[in-house]
Amino acid sequence: MADRYAVFGNPIKHSKSPRIHAAFAEQTGEAVDYRAQLVELGTGVFEQQVEQFFAEGGKGLNITVPFKQNAWRMASWRSAAAERAGAVNTLYRNELGTLCGDNTDGVGLVCDLQNNNGISLKGARVLMLGAGGAVRGVLEPFLKAGAVEIVIANRTVAKAQELVELFSDLGQLSACGFEDIEARAFDVIVNGTSASLQGELPPLPDAIVGADSACYDMMYGAQPTPFCNWASQRGAAKVIDGLGMLIEQAAESFRIWRGVKPQTPELIAQIRAELSG
């Protein structure tokens, strides 16, 4: 019998995680049965379903919007990355039965940048757009990968400032509004706002993109995102969307659960082709 895994979220219908984990299971020969489960919004519903899943023998969960903070609160043990991120996207029980929480989003993004796209963060000056949960989850892995400076620009500057305070012991961080971003080229620019969901783009100065800049949107879709289009038009050296991050964070969860890290490049190419096909 295959071990049971699932992703909990709301909405969940369009989740690609079952497709991704089925491919990993096939590739590695691991006996994994991974499903998507819609969890109703309501006090205590998520917690009850997590308890039930593990009580019935489930081995591990991915947690997505809007339950990552609930999962953080439920976990009795949290990895350093999850602790700072304030969010958990991977749950499992250790051999003592303790509910453990990790966050693989940041590792996923760093992995996609460095391994799949050849963009080193060592010594990089980074501009991070947005200051919500998505950005909070990737700051520590970026600093640990060697980024020397991170400027966090956000519509609500106070939220960017909060993140600066939270992570200031790890490196050089500063906060500003979009209109106050210094006019200089950054090595790496990451769009972590959800503006693309509304087909919007934060108001950004042209000067932040240089001929060597790599621009990364955490969002992805069948069509290039507004941020990716904007970056291409300004001549960025590399323009990448978040499909690779999605697959890499899944690979890292799979590694945590099963102890083997799946290969990802082929699957990224396959799902890319399915998206545009």
Annotated binding-site residue numbers: 15-17, 64, 89, 105, 130-134, 154-159, 218, 220, 242, 249
Instruction: Decide: is 152 part of the binding site for ligand ATR (CB under 6 A).
Output: no
Single residue of 86, 132, 146, 177 touching ligand ATR by CB under 6 A: 132
- Please select the residue that binds ligand ATR; options are 60, 106, 108, 130, rule is CB under 6 A: 130
Size of the site for ligand ATR (CB under 6 A): 15
Which residue among 68, 122, 144, 261 is the active-site one? 68
Nearest-approach distance from CB 226 to ligand ATR, in angstroms: 10
45 sits in which H/E element: helix 45-55
Q: Binding site for shikimate: which residues?
A: 15-17, 64, 89, 105, 220, 249
Q: Are strands 149-153 and 214-217 parallel, antiparallel or unpaired?
A: unpaired
Residues forming a β-bridge with 60: 5, 92
> To which residue do tokens 């963009």 refer?
119
**Which of 91, 132, 113, 133 minimizes the C-alpha distance to 188?**
113
In angstroms, the Cα distances linking 133 to 64, 146, 276 are: 11, 21, 28
Per CB under 6 A, 156 contacts ligand ATR? yes
Q: Residue type for 122, please? A: K
Site string for ligand ATR, 201-230 (x = CB under 6 A): -x----------------------------
Q: Which residues of 160-194 are buried (b: 16+ CB within 10 A; e: fewer)?
A: bbbbbeebeeebebebbebeebeeeebbbbbbbbe
Question: Does residue 198 belong to the site contacting ligand ATR (CB under 6 A)?
Answer: yes
Catalytic residue numbers? 68
Q: Footprint of ligand ATR on this chain (CB under 6 A)? A: 130-134, 154-156, 159, 193-195, 198, 200, 202
